[in-house]
Amino acid sequence: MSMKTALIATFAAFAACPAVPAAAVPAAAGLPPRAPAQPPRTAVPRAQAQLTGFVCQRALDPPGRAVATVAVMRPLAGTQRMELRFDLRASRAHRSPTSIHGGDLDHWISPANPTLGQRPGDVWTVDKQVVDLQGPARYRFRVTFRWRGARGRVLGEATRLSPSCLQPERRPDLLVQSIRVGRPPAAPAKPAQDLYVALIGNKGATGAGPFEVRFADGSLVELRGVQRLAAHTTTSVRFLGPLCSPSAPPKVTVDPDHRIDGVNSTNNSLIAKCPQPGK
């Protein structure tokens, strides 16, 4: 018999065998039997999982800023336990959204009464509020509802999104923009002095004041007061001090005693750059 004839005969014998249902095929030796398929989850009607009572509270200072929502959950048929998870996401310009952590955010919670949800008329209402929000950013809740039945089986799961809450940054932002070093226009009473002109700015959305500006050069410390600096404006503050030394230049600090609740304190100080000799 040729090789081609043998292959045709083998294929014909295989095709003549009756098909065996997959469930009737025995498990291979040493392998556990296949787990039975889980029953499909129940479709969740809109009325069984709702978000209401959305609040977006804006304020000048972060502790007064808040975002809140109310989750309302009703049982599905066969519910033994209801669960909720609140996630709060912050979106900022040119950055990927980030999750806010703290308290029970991003954790599953259940009713204090473990039997709530086992009766058709049960309603579980949870108020969720998050405060002390940083800006500028948009905040949005993502709430996941989950129903469990007998033996903890998941009956259904639904996700609801709240409206977004824009929190602008309205605080002032004081900074030392530059320090100009030069000779005084007139001969000073003391010899060998430089004139330091500090340009103080406010990049924030609101005015600030009163506050002080401090000039420090070794043991010499001088203060100048500024009554008020409007948003997006600058003012010049002058100091007379020793000749600028490249090895130990003076430093100017705006609001050294932190009277102003500003956006960013890392730009409140600047070290002078001494001019090169002969210039």
Q: What is the 3-state secondary structure (H, E, C) of 187-210?
A: CCCCCCEEEEEEEEEECCCCCECC
* Interatomic CA distance for residues 276 and 278, integer angstroms: 6
Domain boundary among 167, 194, 216: 167
Confidence of residue 39 (pLDDT cuts 50, 70, 90): low
Domain boundary among 167, 185, 204: 167
Report percent pLDDT > 90 for the chain.
71
Q: Is the pLDDT of residue 67 over 90?
A: yes
26: which DSSP letter?
A: P
* Amino acid, res. 246: P
Q: How many domains does the chain have?
A: 2
Same domain, 127 and 213: no
Confidence of residue 128 (pLDDT cuts 50, 70, 90): very high
Is 231 among the domain residues? yes
* Interatomic CA distance for residues 78 and 14, integer angstroms: 48
Q: pTM value?
A: 0.67
Confidence of residue 37 (pLDDT cuts 50, 70, 90): low
* Interatomic CA distance for residues 70 and 77, integer angstroms: 23
Domain that residue 231 falls in: 174-271
pLDDT for the residue 95: 85
Is 18 among the domain residues? no
Same domain, 153 and 238: no
Q: Is the pLDDT of residue 8 over 50?
A: no
Same domain, 142 and 208: no
Same domain, 163 and 179: no
Same domain, 233 and 259: yes
The torsion of the CA quartet 239, 243, 245, 248, rounded to 10 degrees, works out to -40
Report percent pLDDT > 70 for the chain.
82
Contact assessment for residue 162 and residue 143, using Cβ atoms and an 8 Å cutoff: yes
Better-predicted residue by pLDDT, 263 or 55 = 55
Strand runs labelled E in the chain? 49-57, 66-73, 81-91, 98-99, 108-109, 124-131, 137-148, 154-161, 165-167, 174-182, 193-202, 211-217, 220-226, 233-242, 251-254, 269-271
pLDDT tens per residue across span 239-272? 999 999 999 999 999 999 999 988 888 999 999 9
- Summarize the confidence of residues 87-113 as an average pLDDT: 94
pLDDT for the residue 26: 40
Domain boundary among 167, 197, 230: 167
Nearest-5° Cα angle at 37, 34 to 42: 160
pLDDT for the residue 32: 52
Same domain, 190 and 155: no
pLDDT for the residue 17: 36
Q: For the chain, what is the mean pLDDT?
A: 86
* Amino acid, res. 204: G
Same domain, 138 and 63: yes
Same domain, 192 and 228: yes
- Return the residue matching tokens 């040493």: 30
Q: What is the domain-level CATH number for residue 61?
A: 2.60.40
pLDDT tens per residue across span 160-215? 999 999 999 999 999 999 999 998 887 655 668 899 999 999 999 999 999 999 99
Is 206 among the domain residues? yes
The torsion of the CA quartet 61, 63, 65, 66, rounded to 10 degrees, works out to 180
pLDDT for the residue 34: 55
Q: Which residues pair with 50 in a beta bridge?
A: 72
Q: What is the domain-level CATH number for residue 247?
A: 2.60.40.10
Same domain, 158 and 53: yes
